[in-house]
Structures are given as structure tokens and as C-alpha cells.
Amino acid sequence: MSINRETVLKTAKLARLNIKEDQVSMYAEELSKIIDIVDSLQEVDTDDIEPLVNVNESELTMREDKVTDGNSAEKILKNAPKEKFEYFIVPKVIE
């Protein structure tokens, strides 16, 4: 498949990319090569291949679901540069 100049410009506009006029033909050629490679995958016979759910066939170990102490505000706030009333004080972002 061949990508033309208009397709490159339209794609660049949709992606909000600034492409210089002298680069359009280079991108058209590169995109055409990529599409040709992807098209060549259609020729591979995959009839007897089982669909793959995960490339890693190993089972994931599950961690034990246990309750932990979530009330550790004092420990967490020790790391804060500034705190007041058990809250982090941060610089104002919006005026």
C-alpha cells in the first residue's frame, strides 16, 4: 500500500505534528514501508495456532489479603515539609 502526500498531511494534522514540506515525501515512504510490513503478517498461516492470552505462561502468585493498619497519618506526615491539622501544606497552584 502506498501512502500519498495528502494522507501524511492529514495524519500530521490529526496528530498535531508540525511537518516541514520537505519531509512529507520521506514520511510517506516510511509509513508505506511500515504498512507493507504489517500487511505481510496477513500471509502467515495461523490456522493451527491457539490464541495467546498472555506472553508469560506462568501463574501469578497471589498475595494474602490481610488488613493492615491504615491509621498511620503521624508516620506519613513526618516526611512532609509542612503540615497542619494532619494535612500536607502545599504551595498554591491556582490563583
- pLDDT of 76-87, one tens digit each? 888 888 888 888
pLDDT band at 37 (very low <50, low <70, confident <90, very high): very high
Residue 35's CATH number: 1.10.20
Distance between CA atoms of residues 78 and 53, nearest Å: 44
Residue 5 has pLDDT above 90, yes or no: yes
- Domain containing 17 equals 5-43
Residue 95 has pLDDT above 80, yes or no: no
Pinpoint the alpha helices (H) of the chain.
Answer: 5-14, 24-40, 73-77
pLDDT band at 19 (very low <50, low <70, confident <90, very high): very high
Radius of gyration of the chain (CA): 27
Distance between CA atoms of residues 20 and 22, nearest Å: 5
* Total count of domains within the chain: 1
- Asked if the structure places residue 24 within a domain, the reply is yes
Three cell numbers written together for 65: 489479603
- Asked if the structure places residue 63 within a domain, the reply is no
Model confidence, pTM? 0.49
